[in-house]
Structure 1
Amino acid sequence: MSPSIVNGLPAHVLFVHIVVVLVPLSALALVVCAIWPHLARRLGVLPPVLALVALVSVPLTTQAGEWLEKHVDSSSLVERHAQLGDGLLPWALGLFVLSSALWWAARRTAPGEGDTQGPAIRLTSAPIRTAAVVLSLVVATGSVVDVYRIGDSGAKAAWHDAYSKTTQSQGN
């Protein structure tokens, strides 16, 4: 169960920043590792760990958002944001699974290690490398687009009719 209030603020408005930063960062790391396997070896376990933290943060943020949804006025904008938010978890899971697979494959194909670590997936073979790059691009793009759509709908829900389009005088 996620906390609902952190330091007097709804937890959702704090947790969302983790998702907004880590999901695109994980997507970028995934694509970089898929395109440049030697860089995947150098980055080591960092991309899958980053993707794991992003994956864990998604349901925490969603649960905190569900609590917040019950404590704000209901509107079609809030409902749309909640619906979109429910769709991010599969993308985050895809980022984690692919990052982990690329990390594992990079470990298995490290130069000079031969077959000492068991069967290897050769990321240098054209069909496997192409599939890894294409799948990584699809999952990375889908996750980043989904984060954008969710964030945009959340901003609209939070700020719709909540500010003045003209400057307010400051009582000079």
Structure 2
Amino acid sequence: MSLINGLPAHVLLVHVVVVLIPLTALALVAAALWPRAARRLGILLPGLALVALISVPLTTQAGEWLESHVESDALVRKHTELGDGLLPWALGLFVLAALVWFAARRGQAEAEPQQGGGGGLRWSALPVRIVVGVLSLAVAVGAVVDVYRVGDSGAKAAWHDAYSKTATTKGGDD
């Protein structure tokens, strides 16, 4: 995908990433720290994380096309390098979102009376919730910070010499 309605696809797809990664991060942290939030979010949590994950390589691919159609400079190269680092964060969000969703379902099933003793690790155990919560918070913060860094570098690459620092008047507007 290179163009959408005559515009570079990257310019449009980047908005999906900029919205979905922080939204997924926020939902993940809420669900990891509050089991009730995880139950309420349900399948929406890993679904949102999956869409965010898929949007990253699509946006990166569209960005590579755009990179080959603009003049290369240090700012564009920096943006490209930073953009390539976002996929692991998005993957981490997805994996943890799926784990939190699974844990919430498992915890709900454990709360219901069952016959027979089920051995193994209890997902609702406090130490497990603490570890998942800390991991979720760390990955969420890392993902949001990386989105900011990539976006900031992209904005600098696109706008560093494309506007005047002083207002200009055009066409008789006073």
Range into which the TM-score falls when normalised by the shorter chain: over 0.9
Give 1:45-84 correspondences, 5 Å limit: 45-84=43-82
- Are 2:57 and 1:97 aligned? no
Cα offsets for 1:56-97 (capped at 9, x unmatched) = 000000000000000001000000000000000000000000
Unmatched 5+ residue regions in structure 1?
A: none
- Are 2:145 and 1:145 aligned? yes
Cα offsets for 1:8-34 (capped at 9, x unmatched) = 000000000000000000000100000
**Contact 1:105 1:121 (C-alpha < 8 Å) held by counterparts:** no
- RMSD of equivalent CA atoms: 1.6
Give 1:7-86 correspondences, 5 Å limit: 7-86=5-84
**Contact 1:37 1:123 (C-alpha < 8 Å) held by counterparts:** no
- Secondary structure at the aligned position of 1:102 is classed as helix
Kindly tell me: are residues 24 and 156 of structure 1, through their superposed partners in 2, closer, same or farther at Cα, counting changes over 3 Å?
Answer: same
CA distance in 2: counterparts of 1:19 and 1:115, whole angstroms = 45
CA distance in 1: counterparts of 2:19 and 2:56, whole angstroms = 12
Kindly tell me: are residues 28 and 70 of structure 1, through their superposed partners in 2, closer, same or farther at Cα, counting changes over 3 Å?
Answer: same
**Contact 2:45 2:97 (C-alpha < 8 Å) held by counterparts:** yes
Unmatched 5+ residue regions in structure 2?
A: none
Q: Post-superposition shift, 1:119?
A: 6.2
Equivalent residue for 1:106, pick from 86, 104, 108 = 104
Cα offsets for 1:26-55 (capped at 9, x unmatched) = 000100000101210111100100000000
Return the TM-score normalized by structure 2.
0.92
**Contact 1:59 1:89 (C-alpha < 8 Å) held by counterparts:** yes
- Are 2:145 and 1:170 aligned? no
- Secondary structure at the aligned position of 1:122 is classed as coil
**Contact 2:29 2:133 (C-alpha < 8 Å) held by counterparts:** yes
Identity between Structure 1 and Structure 2 (%): 66
